[in-house]
Chains A and B, each alone.
Chain A
Amino acid sequence: MARIELNGIEHSYAAKPRTEADWALKRLDLVWRDGGAYALLGPSGCGKTTLLNVISGLVYPTKGSVMFGDRDVTNLPTQQRNIAQVFQFPVIYDTMTVFDNLAFPLRNRAVDGATIRERVEEVAAMLELTPELDRRAHGLTADAKQKISLGRGLVRNDVAAVLFDEPLTVIDPQLKFQLRRKLKEVHERFNLTFIYVTHDQNEALTIADQVVLMNEGAVVQVGTPQELFENPRHTFVGYFIGSPGMNLVPCAVDGAAAVVDGQRIPLAAAIAEKAQAAAGTLELGIRPEFLRLVPAGTEGAVPVTVIAVEELGSFKMVEARLGEHAIKVKLSEDKHLPGESACLVFPPERTKIYENGQLIE
């Protein structure tokens, strides 16, 4: 049990990295709290698997150090790192029974038989694998196999962190939900550090207390799911998180308002002041969930044209046009649409201004 610290990690798969693009990881400083549940989220190729492999010791970073507590493990092999890992595709020992699979890491460490039995039975009960203990692992379903993979990590009492590399990829959607809840339960019970790589934001947001969002080899934002949703620090966070992502339109700032295609959108005073001083390219960002659609002619609201409405079951997705720009608005199912011409209200506390992609706050 230890906190994990990454200091100035950089990694390149090229022997002699020349350009910026040769670096799979660019200058990372991160601290993983002991017992925390983290999700590493990002698009394919953003470096999240590389980062996971740096922690597990399958990849040695080109620069920087990895600390487990006070121990520098940067150049230690996987075996000496006290981590467990669950892979994308279930890794089980086909010819063994479930019991032997779970006992395998302990037997390799020469733990005595009674302790093995006790630990295996405890973990099996937790993972609801007890009825399968005497069965061959070979014929089990994908979700049971993933539970065995996880169980092999849980039986050990020296594990500092459990790493997950998109473990639910091969699981049926119905079972995904159950397994996700099971993971959450296991996390609370064993109080282990979980680091969970995924490109599925729903998975990240349900499992993790803290989401680490990555893009192009760098960490863009670390925060609770709520922080990432309500206060994206970067336009990338804005459009990557949420479904659909944040509305982003180019704007200018004039006094206490943002100007988009001649329409004035009021801003919070503090932000407007800083934005006025900013020299870079400005963008206005707001989540579709925070916009309100009101009848045309409403005071203080911005006139828009409604182009399309999609009924999506529990909510409506409205596509509207503000001057040149498309804006998406998420409305609840029972909301009435005022007609083709309507007005949008931008709540100032929810309206963000970005300078060169970075949040002004």
Chain B
Amino acid sequence: MNKTENNKAWFLVLPVFVIVAFSAIIPLMTIVNYSVQDIFGPNQRVFVGTEWFVDVLGDPRLRDALWRQFLFSGLVLLIEIPLGVLIALAMPKQGWLVSVVLVVLALPLLIPWNVIGTIWIIFTRPDIGLLGVAINGLGVQFDHTASPLDAWVTVILMEVWHWTPLVALLAYAGLRAIPDAYFQAARIDGASAWATFRYIQLPKMRGVLTIAVLLRFMDSFLIYAEPFVLTGGGPGNSTTFLSIYLVKVAVGQFDLGPAAAFSIIYFLIILLFSWLFYQALLNVGTGEKR
């Protein structure tokens, strides 16, 4: 059979190239551009190679922010994933209550992020906030503007309140997709509630939980608006996460070179960890025994 050489088909994928170029590649290249040059103004630039990267990696404040970020994302995943699954397991399976629960759960997801921060500022104020007054009323000193621990507790609480519903909704969708026959078989096999969860529900939720872990990791690792509004990164630097620090460097100090180098490292970390989580969750429990 004769093949006709015709490369015109490439024009069909051109729109995709253009969109991806403008939405991802060109902005990213701008960052790369900044990260390897020292720019003083229009037409005043010096190529500096890896200097900014070396600078940034040696910055102890950045390293602190990085560890803080890992601790934060780790805690968020450890709390939100099991909690979301528990909520999904406890949710009603039929009747009018389902819609009510779904709407109530989705509410925090609909609130703008900076508003979330404001809500929690007021909610936790020791003088007028419901939570703040209640906790202080119990005799526990609680003030997130003064104590780093209280600030952390508040930020984590806020994050859990804001995003656990997403995990719960995903897990619920995963649970509802399990055919009834599995539960009938488990009853016939005499499986306990725990065994049913461990061997049916959990494995069947693998897909949605993978998505939940990835989304929650990426989002919590990038968190900015809520803690910025709530604590402004303080007290001291105790809740200065990576993106808050990045904005301080880029906008506050106008150090675009180090900020760009920092952004690229940031991006690579997220990419690396997302890939690791994805691989781990895809393969857990599917390997051959021998």
Q: In chain A, what residue has the closest Cβ to B191?
A: A108
Asked if B4 CB lies within 8 Å of chain A CBs, one says no
Identify which of residues 79-106 in chain A touch chain B, using a CB-to-CB cut-off of 8 Å.
Answer: 79, 83-85, 87-89, 91, 93-97, 104-105
Asked if B190 CB lies within 8 Å of chain A CBs, one says yes
In the complex where A93-B199, A104-B189, A105-B190 touch, is A87 in contact with B184 (Cβ < 8 A)?
Answer: yes
Asked if A113 CB lies within 8 Å of chain B CBs, one says no
Asked if B289 CB lies within 8 Å of chain A CBs, one says yes
Asked if A77 CB lies within 8 Å of chain B CBs, one says yes
Of B187, B203, B288, the residue contacting A94 (CB under 8 A) is B203
Q: Tell me which of A96, A104, A134, A135 has the highest count of chain B C-beta atoms within 10 A of its own C-beta.
A: A104
Of B181, B182, B185, B289, the residue contacting A134 (CB under 8 A) is B289
Determine if B185 and A138 form an interchain contact, defined as CB atoms under 8 angstroms apart. no
The smallest beta-carbon distance between A344 and chain B, in angstroms, is 49
Asked if A235 CB lies within 8 Å of chain B CBs, one says no
The smallest beta-carbon distance between B285 and chain A, in angstroms, is 4
Identify which of residues 118-176 in chain A touch chain B, using a CB-to-CB cut-off of 8 Å.
Answer: 134-136, 138, 149, 152-153
Determine if B285 and A152 form an interchain contact, defined as CB atoms under 8 angstroms apart. no
What chain B residues lie within 8 Å of A94 (beta carbons)?
Answer: 203-204, 285
The smallest beta-carbon distance between A139 and chain B, in angstroms, is 8
What chain A residues lie within 8 Å of B187 (beta carbons)?
Answer: 77-79
Asked if A189 CB lies within 8 Å of chain B CBs, one says no
The smallest beta-carbon distance between B153 and chain A, in angstroms, is 36
Asked if B179 CB lies within 8 Å of chain A CBs, one says yes
In the complex where A78-B188, A104-B191, A108-B192 touch, is A91 in contact with B289 (Cβ < 8 A)?
Answer: no
What chain B residues lie within 8 Å of A84 (beta carbons)?
Answer: 188
CA distance A111 to B274 in the complex (A): 43
CA distance A94 to B200 in the complex (A): 8
CA distance A97 to B204 in the complex (A): 16
The smallest beta-carbon distance between B208 and chain A, in angstroms, is 15
CA distance A89 to B178 in the complex (A): 12
Identify which of residues 68-84 in chain B touch chain A, using a CB-to-CB cut-off of 8 Å.
Answer: none
What chain A residues lie within 8 Å of B195 (beta carbons)?
Answer: 104, 108
Determine if A85 and B184 form an interchain contact, defined as CB atoms under 8 angstroms apart. yes
Identify which of residues 157-198 in chain B touch chain A, using a CB-to-CB cut-off of 8 Å.
Answer: 179, 181-182, 184-185, 187-192, 195
Determine if A136 and B288 form an interchain contact, defined as CB atoms under 8 angstroms apart. yes
Question: Could you give, for residues 318-356 of chain A, a 1 whenever the CB lies within 8 Å of some chain B CB and a 0 otherwise?
Answer: 000000000000000000000000000000000000000
In the complex where A96-B199, A97-B289, A138-B286 touch, is A87 in contact with B185 (Cβ < 8 A)?
Answer: yes
CA distance A77 to B185 in the complex (A): 13
Asked if B290 CB lies within 8 Å of chain A CBs, one says yes
Of B182, B190, B192, B286, the residue contacting A91 (CB under 8 A) is B182
What chain B residues lie within 8 Å of A56 (beta carbons)?
Answer: 184, 188
Number of B residues with CB within 8 Å of any CB on chain A: 22
Asked if A278 CB lies within 8 Å of chain B CBs, one says no
Of B182, B203, B285, B288, the residue contacting A135 (CB under 8 A) is B288
Question: Could you give, for residues 182-208 of chain A, a 1 whenever the CB lies within 8 Å of some chain B CB and a 0 otherwise?
Answer: 000000000000000000000000000
Q: In chain A, what residue has the closest Cβ to B284?
A: A95
Q: In chain B, what residue has the closest Cβ to A110?
A: B190
Asked if A58 CB lies within 8 Å of chain B CBs, one says yes
CA distance A83 to B184 in the complex (A): 11
Asked if A109 CB lies within 8 Å of chain B CBs, one says yes
What chain A residues lie within 8 Å of B199 (beta carbons)?
Answer: 93, 95-96, 104
What chain B residues lie within 8 Å of A88 (beta carbons)?
Answer: 181
What chain B residues lie within 8 Å of A95 (beta carbons)?
Answer: 199, 203, 285-286
Determine if A108 and B189 form an interchain contact, defined as CB atoms under 8 angstroms apart. yes
Q: In chain A, what residue has the closest Cβ to B180?
A: A58
Determine if A105 and B189 form an interchain contact, defined as CB atoms under 8 angstroms apart. yes
Subset of 23 A-B contacts with CB under 8 Å? A78-B187, A79-B187, A79-B188, A83-B188, A85-B184, A87-B185, A89-B181, A91-B179, A91-B185, A93-B203, A94-B204, A95-B286, A96-B199, A104-B195, A105-B188, A108-B189, A108-B191, A109-B190, A134-B289, A135-B288, A136-B287, A136-B288, A149-B185
Binding site for A on B (CB under 8 A): 179, 181-182, 184-185, 187-192, 195, 199-200, 203-204, 285-290
Binding site for B on A (CB under 8 A): 56, 58, 77-79, 83-85, 87-89, 91, 93-97, 104-105, 108-109, 134-136, 138, 149, 152-153
12 additional A-B pairs beyond A93-B203, A134-B289, A135-B288, beta carbons within 8 Å, are A77-B187, A78-B187, A79-B188, A88-B181, A91-B185, A93-B199, A94-B204, A94-B285, A95-B203, A95-B286, A104-B191, A109-B190
